[in-house]
Structure formats: C-alpha cells, structure tokens
Structure 1
Amino acid sequence: MADTAAARVPAAYVPPPRGGRYENVLLAVLFATFGFVFFDRLALNFLTPYFKDELGLNNAQIGLLGGIPALTWAIAGISVGYLSDRVDRRKPLLIGAILTFTLFSALSGLVGGLASLLLFRALMGAAEGAVLPLSQPLMLHSSTPRRRGLNMGLVQGSSAGLLGGVLGPIVTVWIAESFGWRAAFYATVIPGLVMAALVLWLVRDLRVRHPATVAVDDEVGPEDTASGWGAVLRHRNIVVCLAIAVFFLTWFLTTQTFTPLYLVEVKGFGPGEVGFVLSGIGIAWVLWGALVPGISDRIGRKPTMIGFSAVAAVSPLAIMVIDSPGLLFGALVLTYTGLGCFTLFMATIPAETVPRAVMATALGLIMGVGEVVGGFVAPALAGQLSDVFGLGAAMFVSAGAAVVVTLLSLALTETAPVRVRR
C-alpha cells in the first residue's frame, strides 16, 4: 500500500522542512487556525444567556446544543484522520474544513429555533473536527525534537485559550450587547476567510509515506508498514488515551457549557462580570496550554499528565464556592490546567507511540471517541441532572471526571524523548 501511494506522488515532491523559519511560520498559521476553531465553537456558550429565553430553551436543550458539535466533530475527526492517512494528503483537506466551518458558524445567526440551531452547529462541528488531525501531523513533522511538545501545545492549547477563551467572551459579549447575538455569529466570516488564505499561501503539504519524507523522519514516531485500526489499537498508550479522552472531554465541555449559566443564574453576575471571569479561563488556557506540554518535554509526559489533571479537578469546585469575581478569576487562572493536558493525550503521546503512517488515524480516533462520549453524551446528561438538582450538579460531574483522568494517567507508558533516552 505504501509503495502504491508513493508511486502516485510526483518524484519532485519535497517534504516540509524541519526547524528554522518554516517551523515558526507554520506554528503561527496553525496557532491562528485552531484558535479560530475554538472561537467559533465556544461562541455559542458565551451567547447562551442572550438567546436562551428568545428561543425558549431549557438546560437540557442547552446541554444538547453544547454536545451536538462534539458528536459531529468526533465523526469527522475519525473519518478525516483515516482518510488523510489513506490518501496521504493534508493541506487541501485543511483548507476545505476551514471554509466549511466558517460558513455554518455564520449561518447560526439565522436560526429561528432549536432544530435549525442544532443543524448548523452539527455541520459546523463536522468541519471543525477535521482540523486537529490534519494540523498536528504537520506541526509534529516540522518541529525540532526539543520543541515538539511545546509547539503542539501552542497549536492545540494556547491558541484555543487565547482566541477562544480570552478574546472569545470579550468579543462575542461585546458584539451581542452592541448589535445583538446574531451579529456575533455573522462576524466569524472574515477571520475564517483569512485563515484559509494563510494556509493556502504559507503551508506546505505533508505526505508521510513518500520516500523523501521517510528519509528525514527517523526521529518522529516509529517507522512501520502497518496500517488501519489494528496498527493503532494494539498500543497500550492508545487504549489508555481513549479512556482519558472520554473523561477529560467531560470535564472540559461540561464546564464550558454550564459555567456562563451558573455565573448568571446562581451567582447573579452581570454581563461584564461573566466576561471577566470567563477571560480568566482563557488566560489559564493560554498559559497552561503551552507550559504543560513544555514541562512534559523536560520531566516526561506521564508525570505531567498526573499532576496537572489533579489540579484541573479543582476548577469546577472553585466556580461553586468562590463568590467574588476577582477571586474566582484568579482561582481559574491557577487551576484551569487541563487544556495543556489535552495536547499530550490527544496528540503528542499518540504521535510518539504509533507508526507515522497511521498518526492522523490515531489522533482522530482518540479525539472522536472522547468527543462522542465526553463531548456529546456528558453535557446532555449534565443538563438533565441540572434541571433536577440545580446547576451545581454539572460542576460536580466536571470535577469527578478530572479525578478519573488522574487515575487513568497512572497507566500511561512514557514516550518523551528525554525520558526514553534515559
């Protein structure tokens, strides 16, 4: 299969370079692209207080809206990751995904009720789910080993935190207050088109099975001719990361979906206070999204996962017990460490475990399984529990999920180059 695929690629193909100027250019483009993905995805959560009553939604339906993009994100992540490994192409698929999720994010502003909003958010999630399995192999290939975890963390963690977590609540709440919540969705068209143009202009395609790529990729993942799901699932780390993904996505999406409502309906915070507190989550996302993978480059992936997952369990409890917006802001900056762990179990550890020819398949599978159960089922369940027991139930679900991740991380096998060499 590898020989057949390579034969279809022109002999003049030159793989993207590793290190140097291109490493930084690629990092900047993918940082902006995945950050904008989360700007789109989280905009719904920040706008919920504005359209909940207008559309006549209850907490269970809000949970469903938070979860439906996760379901389609999962399906797309699994299928596109597998497809990109089969056809050995990434750049064209990435451009198509960016244009598609931009379109359906903007169309979310035209909805008149739950059904149409569910449809557009589902289609948007399907396009967004393709971005990570396509982006991280590009970043992994062009990163020097000493910056591998850091670069992948900046792409997946800090970018989402800066654009989705820090700027997202500020910009979307301001637009909603000034022009209405529908305008906040319309505004996503321009940055989406810019991102697609940057990928087209600056990013070089990666074909991991081409002999020219294999010749320079000896430090990136084990070389193997195996392909398909069997080549992925036979590795212990992949099975453990699949389980971790389920519970860490539960922690993440349950917190993201219900925190704005909790702050408004339980704490009685005003729009400005909600935006301020949520920006604390975004700052933590940016900070820990880079620091956690960078620390793992030095002390190892496993101890990093264990320590920072335990800290992440504190953040939903802080939301419940701290009533001061200023103190809650500071507590979330210090404890919202989980998004840095996402890069490790969803990208870095799998990429360092499986053969490079099935790297995107592994990344898409882990992301997909986590999104289906932790991203789709868990928020809907948390919404139902909140309708019965109050919104505090969602926070307890989130904290408990992070505790389970801490225990699962004990079963990981170390993959960090610095620890493996030792």
Structure 2
Amino acid sequence: MNKPTLPGPGAGRHETIMVALLSLGFGLVGLDRFIILPLFPVIMRDLQMNYQDLGNLSAALAMAWGLAALTVGDMVDRLGRKAVLVGSLLLVSALSSLSALAGGLFGLLALRALMGVCEGLFTPAGITVATEVSHPDRRGFNLGVQQALFPVLGLALGPLIAVWLLETLHSWRGVFAVVALPGFLLAWLIHRHYRPELGHQPPASGQPAGAPLPWRQLLRLGNIRLNVLLMFCILACQFVLCAMLPNYLTDHLRLSTMEMASVISAIGIGGFIGQLIVPGLSDLYGRKPAVMLSFAASAALVLLLKLAPAQPWLLFILLFGISFFNCSLTCLTVGPLTGESVPAALLPAATGVVVGLGEVLGGGAAPALAGLVATRFGLPAILYVALGGSLGGLALSTRLKGPREEPSSLPIPDEIPPTVRALPERGWR
C-alpha cells in the first residue's frame, strides 16, 4: 500500500468543509424524500387518498430521480458542478415548500416527481464533488461521510421530526414548509465555500472539450455495467425492506405500532454508522473484500430475520446489521467503485448512470416485485426477494477487478472521444 501523501496548503480545510456540507445536503435530500411517509395518514384523510396513492407518490419520485441522474453528466459539463449543486438544492427546497399548497393527488404527484428530478441531479453531482475534493487516501471514508446523513435524517430522525412538527404546528402543510427552510441556507453555504481549484483532481470543466458521451457507451467502460447490477441487488434488498417491512412487523409478527416504529428506526441508524465505517475500511483493505464481505453479511442477516420471532430487540439488531452493510454497499458502489473506473471528465456522467439505472430498477421494480410476491405468497415471502438481492450481489461482486486487472488495462470503445480516453492510473486494491 502506498504511503499517504498530505494535501497542499488549504486543501485539508476545504476538504473537511465541503464533505460536511455535502453530507448535510444529502441528508436533507433523504429527509425531503421520506418525510411524507409518517405524514401520509393525515394527508390521506385530508386529501381523500388511499394506500395505492402512497405507492404512486413513492414510485413517481424514485423513477424521476433515476431518469434525471442519467442526464446529469451533460448538465454538469454545460453548467458546472457548483451551479448544478446549488440550483438543484434550491429547487428541492422550493418544491418541498410548495407541497404545503397541494390540493389533491395530481398536484402532490407532480411536485414529488419534480422533487425527484432535482434530487436526481443533486446526488451524482454531490458524489462527484466529494470525490474531487477528497485526498485519494481518504476518498472511501469521505464518501461514506458524505452519504451517511441520508439514512439517519430520512429514516431514523425523519419520522420523529415529522411527528414533533405535526404536533407543534397541527398541520401537515406546515411541516413541509418548515422542513424546506434549511435547504435554502445550505445552498448558500455551498455556493460560498466550494472552490474547485482546491480539489485533488481537476474538475470536469478543466478537461479538454470533447463530444458528449451517451450513457449507453458509459456502460462499456470499466466496471460501470457491473456497478449498475450491483446497485440493483443492493436496492432490491434495502428498498424492499423499507417499503414492506412495516406491514410485515405489524400484520405478520403482530407488533404494536410503537414497537414497529422502534424496529424500523434501525434502518436509519445502521445505515448511518455503516457508511462511516465500511468505506473507510475499504481504503485500508481494498474495495473488493469490503464489498464481498458486506453482501455475505447482508444475506446471512436477512435469512436470520426470516427465522426471527416477534422480539423487538432482536429484530432491531438484525435490521440494524442489514442496513449497516447495505448502505455501505451503496456508498462503495456509487462512490469509489465508480470513481475509480472512469476518467475524471466522465465521473459526473458515470455516477449518474449508476445512480440513475440503480434507482429506476431498484427503487421502482424491486418494491413492485415484492408487492406482487406478498400478494401471491404472503408477507413473509418478501424476505426471499431481499435475500435474492444480497445473494445476487455476492455472486456479481466476485467479478470486480482486482489488483492485476486495473481499469486502465480495460479496452475502451472506439466511439469515445480521444480527449477522454485516458483512464486514471489507479486500481482497486
């Protein structure tokens, strides 16, 4: 392993500030995405909706998120990373506040879809900037920190924040308005502090200009195609549990609503802690071992969850462990594994492809499949869908390139412009 090198003057402070701001930004994205779930019983009564409408709202945001992420590379090249980061965060906050004015399903559906577009733009841009500002020897750890607040604000603290604001303001509309406010402040802070010239790799705008690269061609670079499949497997496990486990706990295991909420909070807590630990360990011991171990551990824990009795403390521990490894896998896949597969000029587009296709397939198709399985075979069968995702990811992870098969040795399609054909000279340990 190479001896770590110290960043230049001023880079350490800039790196720390930007990773912290990007982490808060992604945390607010998670809060805006999931805040509607604990509010939906009140919204449902007020706007005359049903549970199918809740599924449609979740699907609209997920699909819009994924499709927007596929186009973010070209937008970053045209507008710049700062403009995409700041603009998308401002729009997310504005759309969240406008949700307070929704008068029915159609209006709320349109606003959630537009929020998904903006969040789909922010996510790859944030990961790209976090990669840019991070010293190579801290990249895995920093990307873990950058994504760590998404589960803790969205899934662990989000329900508590929603209920507290609802009881204080006595209106779900007021909750949307208040939750939107921190995003405006954070957008201003990112605009003020982001300085691309202090990054550890040149920003996309510093690369020689070339013809836009279609996302289908990006799938032929390095391990991008494999990363998309890994993301589908990760989200097939994680999103199925997020969407279906509350009903499994209350309808099948007969837990009370409070017991169910306490158990579900393990998803956010486990994901937060896992993203702070596993990506950093991958800096020391290698990406591939960390990915394979995480998939194996996730599969084992899902199997134990399938066999577990209705004991809240045991269910909490098992769900904590599953999310610990699954959220770490998400961070590793969209972060270091993608960033170390392509040239710096293609990083925004490559990250968008992995996030976008993974979100469309994992965020849309996997929960729909779980719903079909639950309808036909009963709620316990959803855990087989989650188990299949982890086992599939474990099998695919054996194909990750090791030290003797670095990305720089992989063939590059002839259609790729010569100005971006040179792959980075760094491999996966």
Which category describes the TM-score, using the shorter chain as reference length? 0.7 to 0.9
Which residue in 2 is equivalent to 1:276? 262
Measured in 1, the distance between the counterparts of 2:426 and 2:340 equals: 12
Map residues 4-403 of structure 1 onto 2, 5 A cutoff.
19-51=11-43, 55-58=48-51, 60-84=52-76, 86-87=77-78, 89-156=80-147, 158-176=148-166, 179-205=170-196, 208-209=203-204, 228-229=213-214, 232-314=218-300, 316=302, 321-336=308-323, 337-403=325-391
8 A Cα contact 2:287 2:428, kept in partner: no
Q: Is the 8 A contact 1:224 1:355 kept in 2?
A: no
Query: Post-superposition shift, 1:394?
Result: 3.3
TM-superposed deviation, 1:28:
0.9
- Higher mean displacement: 121-130 or 185-194: 185-194
Q: CA deviation at 1:114?
A: 3.8
Query: Percent identity over the alignment?
Result: 33
Flag the 1:405–1:326 CA change in 2: closer, same or farther, 3 A: same
Aligned to 2:412: none
How far apart are the structure 2 equivalents of 1:322 and 1:28? 40
**TM-score, structure 2 as length reference:** 0.82
What's the offset of the Cα at 1:383? 2.6
Q: State whether residues 34 and 159 of structure 1, in contact with CA within 8 Å, keep that contact through their aligned partners in structure 2.
A: yes
Unaligned runs of 5+ in 1: 1-15, 215-222
Contact 1:99–1:196 under 8 Å retained in 2: yes
Question: What amino acid maps onto 1:334 in structure 2?
Answer: G
User: Judging changes above 3 Å, is the alpha-carbon distance between structure 1 residues 186 and 274 closer, same or farther for their aligned structure 2 residues?
Assistant: farther
Deviation at 1:318, TM superposition (A): 5.4
- What letter matches 2:350 in structure 1? A
- Aligned mates of 1:23, 1:209 — CA distance in 2: 18
Q: Deviations over 1:65-122 (max 9, x none)?
A: 32221110011111122321x3261111111111111222233344455433322211
Deviation per residue, 1:20-44 (Å, 9 max, x gap): 1111111110010001101111223
- State the 1:375 CA deviation: 0.9
CA distance in 2 between counterparts of 1:402 and 1:265 reads 25
Give the counterpart letter for 2:35 in structure 1.
Answer: A
Can you give the 5+ residue segments of structure 2 that lack an aligned partner in the other structure?
Answer: 1-7, 408-423
Greater shift, 88-97 or 182-191, is seen at 182-191
CA, structure 1 residues 269+195, in 2 after alignment: closer, same or farther (shift >3 Å)?
farther
Q: Which has the higher contact order (CA 8 A, sep 6+)?
A: 1
Displacement of 1:411 after TM fit?
A: 1.0
How many equivalent pairs are there?
394
Per-residue deviation, 1:354:
0.5
Secondary structure of residue in 1 paired with 2:294: helix
Q: Would the aligned equivalents of 2:230 and 2:393 in 1 still touch at CA under 8 Å?
A: yes
The answer on whether the counterparts of 1:105 and 1:124 sit within 8 Å (CA) in structure 2 is yes
Go from structure 1 to structure 2 and tell me whether the alpha carbon gap of 1:201 and 1:421 turns closer, same or farther (over 3 Å shift): closer
Structure 1 counterpart SS, 2:35? helix
* Distance in 2 between residues matched to 1:421 and 1:65, nearest whole Å: 39
CA positional deviation for 1:384: 3.6
Quote the RMSD (CA, aligned, Å): 3.0
